[in-house]
Structure 1
Amino acid sequence: MELAMFDGKLLENAKHIHFIGVGGSGMYPLVQILHSKGYRISGSDNNETDTLALEREMGVEVFLGQRAENIGGADLIVYTAAIMSDNPELRAAKGSGVPTIERAELLGYLTSRYQNCICVCGTHGKTTTTSMITQVLVGAGLDPTAVIGGKLPLIHGSGCVGKSDIMVCEACEFNDHFLQLFPDIAVILNVDADHLDYFGTIENVIRSFHRFASLAQKAVFYNGDDANTVKAMEGISGKELLTFGWSDHCDYYPAEIVHEGAESSFDLYSGKNRLGRFTIHVPGRHNILNAVAAIAAALYVGTPVEAMKEQLAGFRGAARRFEILGKVRGITIADDYAHHPAEIAVTLKAAKELHFNQVWAVFQPFTYSRTKLLMDDFAKALSLADKVVMSEIMGSREKNTDGIYTSQLAEKIPGSVWFPEFEEITDYVTTNAQPGDLVITLGCGDVNKCAKMMLKR
């Protein structure tokens, strides 16, 4: 992908901005920010959602259905990467002569407007860590602007508009989108093989994270115990370089870790200096490291330690990140956004530590290319669950040119089953799950609908 040249005057002549895919979680915070600055906002989407209702309340003109005439009167048109190239509204936009840009370019422009922009990247854990930082800063009264890839209950959505010079931004490596951002402080959680349909090799992934780190103006906080991240940092200079990890060779690390169900507590050290004891209520060992990264970044912009302790103790996760949706007839229903084998493995290991009778993984594969490239890894990760139920693959922006199907994945997981429809999955799980079991839906598509259907049963 050839990155667009940065236009420092992007919004100078715009009064009316139109969003194609305005209901997306990544679009909503941008709408909030620009609406607060006085721009007239309109947008379209194909499905009615809670986000659209919130945007209407703000005064956004929302069109249901994507048609050429929706763009009328706009000075700038923004679309998401999920919009197909043959979408009639996008085609009309690109043929209209009106400046038409992808969401990542607009987000990049907005990050350039803040003096302390914290951009959080990594193959896994971005949303949780961005949410933790946002919760800490909002709760401590630092009044940040935030753009998160999921919903944070504290701010009732995926973003907020503050009056300070601090911005917290989730930085996604998909198609090198994060290279359009302007981080002052970069946080790199981990680097793994994902989006290989675009990157091709892990070496190319590492190269892109290196380029992202080089963009940071003030500091980079990175995982000193992750080999790929350390490799990505080779040759980076001209800014503060600070590590976090599990071991005391890192600048920030936890010690005296205690797990009690979904609760974990730990002492946090900066070098030999003990900063205090912190408690989090999101399950899994990986979330301790996410919290350490969040604390380190929040400290850098002046957040008091005691305020961080209080806010992290009250953090219960972002939506769709090991989110407990309810308990019916003794069966716990949860939902998680995990869609890469490493994420699925981490989530299922955390679930197994919570001492349920059986852990059910209800998985919706996302994109044919990822399923094909990582099929053996998916099979290994999902086999950590006691029961595996799968849906057909959600192709999203892709066409199934290679003939990849869930049945091929199911053959590699002994005892697994798959069904074409969520109704069939719901019937099977609600008939066979027993009191004391955990059922967790996994995937970045719409498999969370299945979790809600199970609850209703």
Structure 2
Amino acid sequence: MTTYHFIGIKGTGMSALAHILYDSGEKVQGSDVEKRFFTQEALEQKNIPILPFSEDNIKDEYTIIAGNAFSDDHIEIQAAKKNGNTFYRYHEFLGEWLKQYTSIAVTGAHGKTSTTGLLAHVLNETYPISYLIGDGTGKGHVESKYFVFEACEYRRHFLQYEPNYAIMTNIDFDHPDYFTSIDDVFDAFQSMADRVKKGIIACGDDEKLQQIQAKVPVVYYGFADTNDFQAQHVNETENGTEFDVFVRNTFYDTFTIPVYGDHNILNALSVIAICHYEGMRAEDIKNISTFQGVKRRFTEKKVGNQILIDDYAHHPKEITATIDSARKKYPNKSIVAIFQPHTFTRTKTFLQEFADSLSLADKVYLCDIFGSAREESGKLTIHDLQRLVDDSTILDLSHTETLLTHSDSVLIFMGAGDIQKFQQAYEEQLTKHKNNTKLKNA
């Protein structure tokens, strides 16, 4: 039996792939840095070995899968190449593995992870499936009918895949360290569209996606009445959002999702469209209402009168969408944004857009920029963003108690770096504050 060794097994895509192979009956192990990641717990529950990096981890008979975060001069990659091991990069292996199934790639500048999670949930309630979600969650099934996976446009990695279907949520300028312009991003998505074998489900409200040329049928979804699948009569309730779906202007059914915001309705529409296209019954698709969400996407915790939300939002459009969801869900609470920019290149490119989107909150706290090892910081600092956001405050990790002053509020911790450490520090302050209050009242 082949042993698959993952170089960088704690990465979100890598850990998800490790779960899939393990669940499919393969032998799996991996190596990574010592720092603890949120993906680790699920790997440990399956007793998947996680080793420190060492060339001794590379045995002759192993098949090696390397994470995209590691360059060719990494000690284990060098050892594998020297040894002549069967060697794949993450996206290369995934491209081969998914050929066994009816594969559905979920791609787009924003909303990939939430949409992949939602689609996996709905299909999983009806069929045996495999899925790989960008929050580190993965599941394999020996008799899988479908393989649902998140496909990232960064460095055009998604061009390693030839899926049966692709959901395209939107095209937007991001990853400015790689893409040169919105046209460069469009070009990548057009190349991806050329690789799809059966059909594309695309958001018709997105101007760029309307320009995609494809050799397969393109089904459009959105709010505009020109779409094949259209959402109408949106109604926000205490439990979520309810809306009617029309298929080519004919009423199809009413659906409920346990979340808020137009972006979530669009994500749900894409899932309804692909499931309808594949012949699923409306009552089975309605399992969309029981979706519990994915990790780090509007993940909530209630502490006293405060709601703490952890969210991966790291682009101005995602920040806008997250604040919008919070306003709709908690219309009577004030919204406090705590934001850690991710990469200097992205911060510099979207400096004014970040300021505009953050200004939608009632109060803004900023954390130091989380840089990438691949870039130079230049002279940019968090103070450049602070100058553009009225009444914003720099949050110091050792003084998060300042957030205690926002008693009846929603605190949104946003970013793709290690913003969770600020939330953790604040939760420790909350516990301390609670204990002190108990002592005073004793």
TM-score by length of 2: 0.91
Cα distance between partner residues in 2 of 1:449 and 1:194: 25
Deviation at residue 15 of structure 1 after TM alignment:
1.6
For 1:254 and 1:383, the matched residues in 2 are separated by: 29
Question: Distance in 1 between the 2:239 and 2:263 partners?
Answer: 12
Q: 1:357 to 1:368 in 2, by over 3 A?
A: same
| 2:435 corresponding residue in structure 1 | none
- Superposition map of 1:80-159 within 5 A: 80-83=67-70, 87-114=74-101, 116-139=102-125, 141-150=126-135, 157-159=137-139
Note the C-alpha offset of 1:111.
1.7
Aligned to 2:144: 164
Residue 415 (structure 2) pairs with residue 451 (structure 1): no
Partner of residue 428, structure 1: 402
Instruction: Tell me the residue number matched to 2:16.
Output: 29
3-state SS of paired residue (1:54): helix
2:53 to 58, 66, 75: 66
Counterpart CA distance in 2 for 1:37 and 1:317 is: 24
Cα distance in 2, alignment partners of residues 441 and 85 from structure 1 = 34
Name the amino acid aligned to 1:389: Y
How far the C-alpha of 1:48 sits from its partner, in A, is: 3.5
Q: Which runs of 5+ in 1 are unaligned?
A: 1-13, 152-156
Supply the AA of the counterpart residue of 2:419: V
CA distance in 1, matches of 2:110, 2:87: 30
Residues in 2 aligned to 1:28 and 1:304: alpha-carbon distance in whole angstroms: 33
CA spacing shift, 1:387–1:196, aligned 2, 3 Å = same
Q: Offset at 1:368?
A: 1.2
Q: In the alignment, is the contact (CA less than 8 A) between 1:254 and 1:267 conserved in 2?
A: yes
Structure 2 counterpart of 1:4: none
Q: Look up the SS of the partner of 1:183 in the other structure.
A: coil
Report the alpha carbon displacement of residue 78 of structure 1 after superposing the two structures with TM: 1.5
2:260 alignment counterpart: 283
Structure 2 unaligned blocks of 5 or more: 431-442
Q: Is the partner of 1:196 in helix, strand or coil? A: coil
Alignment of 1:14-413 (within 5 A): 15-46=2-33, 47-49=35-37, 51-63=39-51, 65-73=52-60, 75-83=62-70, 87-114=74-101, 116-139=102-125, 141-150=126-135, 157-161=137-141, 163-231=143-211, 233=212, 235-237=213-215, 239-261=216-238, 263-309=240-286, 311-324=287-300, 326-353=301-328, 354-413=330-389
Q: Distance in 2 between matches of 1:396 and 1:161?
A: 35
Question: Could you tell me how far apart the structure 2 residues matched to 1:412 and 1:49 are?
Answer: 33
Give 1:118 shift: 0.8
Counterpart code for 2:305: G
- C-alpha distance in structure 1 between counterparts of 2:123 and 2:240, whole Å: 22
1:455 Cα deviation after fit: 3.1
Whether the 8 Å CA contact 1:368–1:398 is kept in 2: the answer is no
Q: For residues 212 and 184 of structure 1, what CA distance do their matches in structure 2 show?
A: 12
Query: Aligned AA for 2:403?
Result: V
Q: What whole-Å deviation, never above 9, does each CA across 1:94-115 have from its counterpart, x for those lacking one?
A: 444324332111111112221x
The CA distance in 1 between the partners of 2:100 and 2:82, in whole Å, is 30
CA pair 39-243 structure 1, distance change in 2 beyond 3 A = same
The question of whether the paired residues in 2 share the 8 Å contact of 1:28 and 1:159 is answered with no
Give identity over the alignment, percent. 32
SS in 1 for 2:100: coil
Separation (CA, whole Å) in 1 of partners of 2:346 and 2:398? 25
Residue 337 of structure 1 and its aligned partner are, at CA, apart by: 0.8
| Structure 1 position 251, deviation (Å) | 0.4
CA displacement, residues 11-68 of structure 1 (integer Å, 9 cap, x when unaligned)? xxx82221111122211232123234443322112233464343344343221x3222
Matching residue's letter, 1:192: D
- After superposition, the C-alpha distances for 1:254-305 in whole angstroms (9 at most, x for unaligned) are 1111112561100111113322110111121210111000111122223221
Q: CA deviation at 1:223?
A: 1.0
Alignment-mate amino acid for residue 336 of structure 2: W
Map Cα deviations across residues 297-320 of structure 1 (whole Å, 9 max, x no partner).
Answer: 1222232210221x1111132121
Compute the displacement of 1:70 (Å): 2.2
CA RMSD of aligned residues (A): 2.0
Aligned residue type for 2:42: L
Asked if the contact 2:19/2:138 (under 8 Å) is kept, the reply is no
Q: Is the 8 A contact 2:91 2:158 kept in 1?
A: yes
Q: CA 1:399 to 1:248, structure 2 compared with 1: closer, same or farther past 3 Å?
A: closer
| 3-state SS of paired residue (1:199) | coil
Contact residue 60 and residue 83 of structure 2 kept, 8 A: no
Deviations 1:58-93 (Å, cap 9, x if unpaired)?
343221x32222223453222222235554334434
Amino acid at match of 1:433: H
Q: How big is the shift at 1:204?
A: 0.6
Task: Please give the secondary structure, in 1, of the residue aligned with 2:178.
Answer: helix
SS in structure 2 of the partner of residue 27 of structure 1: helix
Per the alignment, residue 7 of structure 1 pairs with: none
CA distance in 1, matches of 2:38, 2:297: 19
SS of 1:150's equivalent in the other structure is coil
Residue 11 of structure 1 corresponds to none
1:439 is aligned to 411
State the AA in 2 paired with 1:189.
T
Normalized against structure 1, the TM-score is what? Answer: 0.88
